[in-house]
Amino acid sequence: MHLIRRPVPVQTEWKLQQQGLPPLLARLYAARGVADAVELDDDPKNLLPPSALKGTGEAAALLADALQADAHIVIVADYDCDGATACALGLRALSAFIAATASSARVDYLVPDRFTLGYGLTPAIVNLAAARFQPDLLVTVDNGIASLEGVARARELGMAILVTDHHLPAVFDGVVRLPEAECIVNPNQPECTFPSKALAGVGVLFYVMLALRAELRARGAFGERPQPNLAQFLDLVALGTVADVVKLDRNNRVLVSQGLKRMREGKLTPGIAALLAATGRDPARLSTFDLGFILGPRVNAAGRLTDMGLGIECLATDDTGHAFNLAQKLEELNRERKAIEAGMQAQALALLEAIDLTDAPLALSLYDPGWHQGVVGLLAARVKERTHRPVFAFARGEKGELKGSGRSIPRLHLRDALDLVSKRAPALLKRFGGHAAAAGVTLMEADFPEFQRRFAETVAELLPPEALTRQLETDGSLEAAYCTLATARLLEAQIWGQGFPAPLFTDEFEVIRQRVFKGKVLKLDLQKGGQSLEAVQFNLVDAAEVPGTRVRLAYRLGINDYRGKQSLQLVVEYLENLA
């Protein structure tokens, strides 16, 4: 592990202090590229305008026409948290518009079963929508940009299609191919100049809903009735944005900050309130960590193990009792998911023990016939963290297929690597897609050894060997005066996430006392410069590897809330023995 301190532009740090930021925040924000305090203003007026996002005007007109024609609209969702929150947002917002315009339109949804129907707007899901709902308009959320065949099938059946997505479009022989939908809204489609390419799927749909309200207002469709307040849906936008691990650029930070503010004030959709109650989280103290690591995995558990319809219903219902029951089921599914993942991780680590990583390929492809298809992505992430290599983990699908999920490391674009494999072996990959950090692939089980070899060879060409040295960016040493509960609360209240990482500090400590709980949690009593501190390290890889009397830690400031009493706790991300 190589610890690297983030550079801090001194002039920028000084400027931020002069603009009123506390010295520590000025230093942290300067290191993250914030050049002016105005960039931290989370007022909604600072959001990029919907008109800047290609297709929003046309989408608003299409939806407004559908409402005024009393059409039947069906939302086709994805089976992750981003897709679930986007679907719930669509159901809630469109229902509000239907009521506010006295329309007789209807809105329903479908979400593919990941085990039988696969991802996106496939012909199969279109046929199912036609049989179940006979819709006039299909609206995709968090999918659809690469669904050429599905959109073509929908047009054959006489349906109009609005694609809202944030993924990269399909590329064939170097040429971008877009589905022939009535309208596409996606910041990553060609000729879209929207400055924030990092919008999550739920963020894209929120922009479409903003444009729809403006369109209905211009048509006089509300009459004397009050217009829906779309801010009420920002808790869904914040949850989906953080859970999808998209970059928290300025625009996304405004969306997340506004959503968190409402949540901390107790302005919550019933489903999110129920999830918080099920996990014992206090809404007043919510942080981006809670969204990404507590709420997100519980919603995702439905899509991983059963049907994301459970998660969508929880987020879409207004019945608090029903929401609570669904939240309890999601909590149970998440516990089941953890147990399955733990078993798979033990098997994967057993496989790794037979591999000498010093002489192993630069990329790993792992497969076991008993692995669960909905959890292989999490497994790939765990192995990637352990080995610091690009990893694909596979599970059995149907008809002799394997479904793989991959995770990458910095300096390797995973989807581009798959594209190169596909070009060199055109018959090998049946389907693939994704982005730089994560991707999915389908192939025949008999072809796994060839994929294993070709993927490793391709990565060896694209990834320089020095990229396998794990690097951890830190914010350097934290002065003793800042090692306080007040500082931890200050940092917890900020907006951190992908591309805008939470502060991580590094210092040397004397170890006064240590103990391991349940073989996975290391607790430490530390001393530094006469100051006594408590620390905890979760998910120990090897409980036998205990620290010595002096250690170097990379840590973040956390808050230990025990029986209503809060205290400072250092949360250890990396530990190095010095003595």
pLDDT in tens, 286-308: 999 999 999 999 999 999 998 89
For the chain, give the percent of residues with pLDDT over 70.
Answer: 99
SS3 415: helix
Q: Which residues of 329-347 are buried (b: 16+ CB within 10 A; e: fewer)?
A: bbbebbeebeebbeebbee
CB atoms within 10 A of CB 172: 8
Q: Is the dihedral of CA 87, 88, 89, 90 positive or negative?
A: positive
Angstrom distance (rounded) from CA 390 to CA 458: 11
Query: For residue 542, is pLDDT > 70?
Result: no
pLDDT in tens, 28-48: 999 999 999 999 999 999 999
CB atoms within 10 A of CB 165: 29
For the chain, give the percent of residues with pLDDT over 90.
Answer: 84
Query: Among candidates 284, 276, 292, which has minimal Cα distance to 324?
Result: 276
pLDDT in tens, 99-124: 999 999 999 999 988 777 777 899 99
- Residue 342 CA, distance from chain mean position: 21
Strands 175-177 and 183-185, by their bridges, are unpaired
Query: Among candidates 477, 418, 412, 474, which has minimal Cα distance to 442?
Result: 418
Q: What does R_g of the chain's alpha carbons equal in angstroms?
A: 24
Q: How far apart are the first and last CA of the chain?
A: 17
- From residue 332, alpha-carbon distances to 210, 278, 311 in Å are 36, 10, 12
pLDDT in tens, 215-264: 999 999 999 999 999 999 999 999 999 999 999 999 999 999 999 999 99
Angstrom distance (rounded) from CA 100 to CA 443: 48
Which residue is listed with tokens 């070709």? 454
pLDDT in tens, 157-198: 999 999 999 998 987 777 899 999 999 999 999 999 999 999
What pLDDT does residue 145 have? 95
CB atoms within 10 A of CB 415: 22
Query: For residue 65, is pLDDT > 60?
Result: yes
> How would you list the strands of the sheet with 391-396, edge to edge?
364-367, 391-396, 401-407, 438-444, 431-434
pLDDT in tens, 559-576: 998 877 999 999 999 999
Angstrom distance (rounded) from CA 405 to CA 376: 6
What pLDDT does residue 152 have? 97
* Helix (H), strand (E), coil (C) string for 308-377: CHHHHHHHHCCCHHHHHHHHHHHHHHHHHHHHHHHHHHHHHHHHHHCCCCCCCCCCEEEECCCCCCCCHH
Identify the structural domains of the chain with CATH numbers, from first to last.
Answer: 51-332 (3.90.1640.30), 355-468 (3.10.310.30), 473-577 (2.40.50.460)
Give the pTM. Answer: 0.93
Q: What is the DSSP letter of 238?
A: H
In single-letter form, the type of residue at position 20 comes to G
pLDDT in tens, 459-517: 999 998 888 888 899 999 999 999 999 999 999 999 999 999 999 999 999 999 999 98
Angstrom distance (rounded) from CA 101 to CA 484: 53
Query: For residue 543, is pLDDT > 60?
Result: no
What pLDDT does residue 435 have? 80
- Residue 314 in tokens: 């929880």
